[in-house]
Structure 1
Amino acid sequence: MREGAVRWLSPAGFFTLRWWDWGPVDGAPVVCVHGLTRSGRDFDALAAALAAQGRRVICPDLPGRGASDWLPDPMLYQPPVYIAALSHLLARFDGPVDWVGTSLGGICGMGIAATPGNPIRRLVLNDVGAFVPQAAMARIRDYVGTEPVFRDIPTLEAHLRVVHAPFGHLSDAEWRHLAETSARPADGGVALHYDPAIAAPIRAMEAQALDMQALWERVRVPVLLIRGAESDLLLRETAAAMAAAPNVELAEIAGAGHAPALMDPAQVALVADFLAQ
Structure 2
Amino acid sequence: MTESTAAPRQQYVQCLSPSGLHRIAYTEWGDPANPRVLVCVHGLTRSGRDFDRFAAAMADEYRVVCPDVVGRGLSSWLLDPRGYGVAQYVADMVTLIARTGAEQVDWFGTSMGGLIGLSLAGLPDTPIRRMLINDIGPHIEPVSLERIGQYVGLDERFATLQEGIDNAALLAASFGPLSAEEWREINTPLLHEVDGQWRFRYDPRIAVPFKSVTPEQNEEGEKLLWRSLAAFAGPVLVVRGVLSDLISRETVAKMIEVGRKVTSVEIAGVGHAPAFLAADQIAIARRFFDGEAPGGS
- Normalised to the residue count of structure 2, the TM-score between the two structures is 0.89
Would you say how many aligned residue pairs link Structure 1 and Structure 2?
276
- CA shift for structure 1 position 203: 1.6
Aligned to 2:207, the other structure's residue is in SS state helix
In angstroms, what is the RMSD of aligned CA positions? 1.4
Percentage of pairs with the same residue: 40
- CA shift for structure 1 position 239: 0.8
Amino acid at match of 2:161: I
Q: How far apart, in 2, do the equivalents of 1:260 and 1:134 lie?
A: 20
1:155 aligns with 2:163: yes
1:248 aligns with 2:262: yes
Match of 1:69 among 73, 76, 87: 76
Tell me, yes or no, if the aligned pair for 2:38 and 2:63 is still in contact at 8 Å.
yes
Tell me, yes or no, if the aligned pair for 1:149 and 1:186 is still in contact at 8 Å.
no
Amino acid at match of 1:49: A
Q: Deviations over 1:39-92 (max 9, x none)?
A: 0000001100001x2310000000000111011111011010011111101112
- CA shift for structure 1 position 246: 4.9
Tell me, yes or no, if the aligned pair for 2:45 and 2:202 is still in contact at 8 Å.
yes
Structure 1 segment 54-203 matched on structure 2, within 5 A: 54-92=61-99, 93-203=101-211
* Structure 1: runs of 5 or more not aligned: none
Amino acid at match of 2:175: F
Q: How far apart, in 2, do the equivalents of 1:131 and 1:219 lie?
A: 17
Amino acid at match of 2:14: R
Amino acid at match of 1:232: D
Aligned to 1:233, the other structure's residue is in SS state coil
* Structure 2: runs of 5 or more not aligned: 1-7, 292-297
Q: How far apart, in 2, do the equivalents of 1:7 and 1:205 lie?
A: 28
Q: Deviations over 1:120-147 (max 9, x none)?
A: 1110000001211222222222210115
1:37 aligns with 2:51: no
Q: Which residue of 2 aligns with 1:257?
A: 271
- CA shift for structure 1 position 158: 1.6
Aligned to 2:275, the other structure's residue is in SS state coil
Q: Which residue of 1 aligns with 2:285?
A: 271
User: Which has the bigger relative contact order, CA under 8 A and spacing at least 6?
Assistant: 1
Q: How far apart, in 1, do the equivalents of 2:74 and 2:51 lie?
A: 15
Q: Which residue of 2 aligns with 1:213?
A: 226
Point out the more displaced range, 230-239 or 180-189. Answer: 180-189
Q: Which residue of 2 aligns with 1:232?
A: 245
Q: Which residue of 1 aligns with 2:4?
A: none
Amino acid at match of 1:226: V
- Normalised to the residue count of structure 1, the TM-score between the two structures is 0.95
- CA shift for structure 1 position 215: 2.6
Q: Which residue of 2 aligns with 1:7?
A: 14
Amino acid at match of 1:166: S
Q: How far apart, in 1, do the equivalents of 2:238 and 2:177 lie?
A: 20
Tell me, yes or no, if the aligned pair for 2:233 and 2:260 is still in contact at 8 Å.
no
Task: Describe the shift of the 1:54–1:217 C-alpha distance in structure 2 as closer, same or farther (beyond 3 A).
Answer: closer
- CA shift for structure 1 position 201: 0.2
